[in-house]
Structure 1
Amino acid sequence: MRIFKEPIPYQNPSLCMKVWRFTDSSKERKSSNTWHYHNEVEFILVEKGSHEMQTPNHTYTLNAGDVMVIGSSQLHTGRKLSDNDLSYIVLHIDFRPFFDPAMMMYYRHFLEILHPLEKLNYIFQENERVRNDIARMISETHEEVMDKKKGYEIAVSMHIKYLLLMLLRYDTRELLTSQSHVDADVDVIRSLVTYVDEHLAEKIDMGAASQLAGMSYSYFSKYFKKKMGSSFTDYVNQKRISKAERLLVTENRSVNEIAESVGIENMAHFYELFKRFNGCTPKQYVSKMNGRIN
């Protein structure tokens, strides 16, 4: 099983996105492509034919007109279904530059703190109008980037902001709004999220995090749990295990080495955490991933 972190070369660095149409006239593939992941959120629109997308826990069959979203750093893979021609558009986006001051209050909803964006695919399955609108935005974004007419950067920014609006407005299960207490502290939360992401391989000290937030140790502990819905320690452990999941299938290293690389030196603790978040051992997880692409 080959898995890798896919680099996404932006067509316009100032827009922090890439959109491309893929066509495939080959025979149906019996097995999936290589598992991969990237920092950017990915939208897929199937224009013709049938395409299967897999994540560690779900398999999606996409036909003409169907769309789906894959969250940041989410492992995924795909394969062509049937011998008919396949055409689809893939849109990769780093959302951060699109949150201007007027939108910043909503930035917290897309941090994927409690729920991966993949869970929002229920919207496209249940709401035909939203699915059609998102499909149109993806198609028009591709057209704007390919044609590069005057002002296309404005048009693309508007389309992406519309995507964000549709996800936020039609999330009837309120998965995006579960972080309802972050409100005006989004800059503090963003700094803390970045700090944790950049120091996962090291010992993450809550004292250093509290200093970053400009708070006392005791106040920070209560503050973080209120704002994020989990303790700081639980949040860090969740991020460590998420990274370990990717490393298990991207790196040819032992479980011990991977545990150490995500800052967990006690193997019993690593196995306990991994099973808590995945319901299986690291070895079982890798076996599951192998089985899903065969």
Structure 2
Amino acid sequence: VKKENENLKGCITFEKQDCSGKQEAVIADILDEMYAHEPGYETVVQGYLYRLLSGLCNETAYHPALQTVRIRKDSRLAEAVMSYLRENRRRISRKELTERFHYNEDYLSRVVRKYTGVSLKNYMEDLLLEEAEHLLLTEEISVNDIMERLGYENETFFYRLFYKRHRMTPMEYRKKVGK
């Protein structure tokens, strides 16, 4: 919930009315799925999120309240950088980011790490590998075309990243997971 003042943001909090702990268990399940990062985890997490929101809407268990919080400037910057990376889904140089956002590349990297827990480079690689996974499963294009679309010029580097994440090549992933 956004306010007129860009430094303020509204958020909904949920005060616990009972002590069942069901929602905490759902949150733990979400984190487990995201950490395991198994094929199809996005769909499983989405189901857990529906369950979580449904439970939070139970007025006998939780009391929702709107609160206003002050947003830090670096938080808005991190959100803008991450949004830009998600929208573009291609390799973007740190130089391009500094020209786009008018901040030093080290500062941008520190801000993204602060809010994601991973480096700017790793955040971008994760996004690109997720996009590669999606393209492998939904489109009938070659791995080289996928690499080109995502901005990878070094085939060995791409295959190494992909293998490190999945313990299989992109083609093996397409055959195994795409069934």
Structure 1-normalised TM-score?
0.39
The structure-2 alpha-carbon separation of the partners of 1:136 and 1:239, relative to structure 1 and needing over 3 Å to count, comes to closer
Q: Alignment partner for residue 155 of structure 2, among 264, 267, 270?
A: 267
Q: 1:166-197, CA deviations, whole angstroms, 9 ceiling, x for partnerless residues?
A: xxxxxxxxxxxxxxxxx623321221122112
| Aligned residue number for residue 17 of structure 1 | none
Q: 1:129-159, CA deviations, whole angstroms, 9 ceiling, x for partnerless residues?
A: x76x81795xxxxxxxxxxxxxxxxxxxxxx
The 3-state SS of whatever aligns with 1:192 is helix
Is contact 2:75–2:115 with CA below 8 Å preserved after alignment?
Answer: no
Is contact 1:200–1:240 with CA below 8 Å preserved after alignment?
Answer: yes
Q: Alignment partner for residue 11 of structure 2, among 58, 82, 103?
A: 103
**Residues in 1 aligned to 2:116 and 2:178: alpha-carbon distance in whole angstroms:** 34
Aligned AA for 2:10?
Answer: A
Alignment of 1:226-265 (within 5 A): 226-265=114-153
Q: Is structure 2 residue 91 aligned with structure 1 residue 194?
A: no
Q: Is structure 2 residue 22 aligned with structure 1 residue 134?
A: no
Q: CA deviation at 1:282?
A: 1.0
Q: CA deviation at 1:227?
A: 2.9
| Aligned residue number for residue 47 of structure 1 | none
**Residues in 1 aligned to 2:135 and 2:82: alpha-carbon distance in whole angstroms:** 20
Is contact 1:275–1:281 with CA below 8 Å preserved after alignment?
Answer: yes
Q: CA deviation at 1:123?
A: 8.0
Alignment of 1:96-245 (within 5 A): 101-103=9-11, 115=34, 118-119=44-45, 134=54, 184=72, 185-201=74-90, 203-245=91-133
The structure-2 alpha-carbon separation of the partners of 1:123 and 1:223, relative to structure 1 and needing over 3 Å to count, comes to closer
Q: CA deviation at 1:214?
A: 3.7
Q: CA deviation at 1:236?
A: 0.9
The structure-2 alpha-carbon separation of the partners of 1:122 and 1:200, relative to structure 1 and needing over 3 Å to count, comes to closer
The structure-2 alpha-carbon separation of the partners of 1:99 and 1:275, relative to structure 1 and needing over 3 Å to count, comes to farther
Q: CA deviation at 1:276?
A: 2.0
Identity across aligned pairs (percent)?
A: 25
| Aligned residue number for residue 280 of structure 1 | 168
Choose between structure 1 and 2: higher helix proportion: 2
Is contact 1:259–1:265 with CA below 8 Å preserved after alignment?
Answer: yes
Is contact 1:271–1:282 with CA below 8 Å preserved after alignment?
Answer: yes
Aligned AA for 2:106?
Answer: S
Q: CA deviation at 1:271?
A: 0.8
Q: CA deviation at 1:243?
A: 0.5
Choose between structure 1 and 2: higher strand proportion: 1
The structure-2 alpha-carbon separation of the partners of 1:118 and 1:99, relative to structure 1 and needing over 3 Å to count, comes to farther
- The count of corresponding residues between Structure 1 and Structure 2 is 138
| Aligned residue number for residue 172 of structure 1 | none
The structure-2 alpha-carbon separation of the partners of 1:246 and 1:120, relative to structure 1 and needing over 3 Å to count, comes to closer
Question: Which portions of structure 1, spanning 4 or more consecutive aligned residues, are displaced by more than 6 angstroms?
Answer: none
Aligned AA for 1:248?
Answer: L
Aligned AA for 2:11?
Answer: M
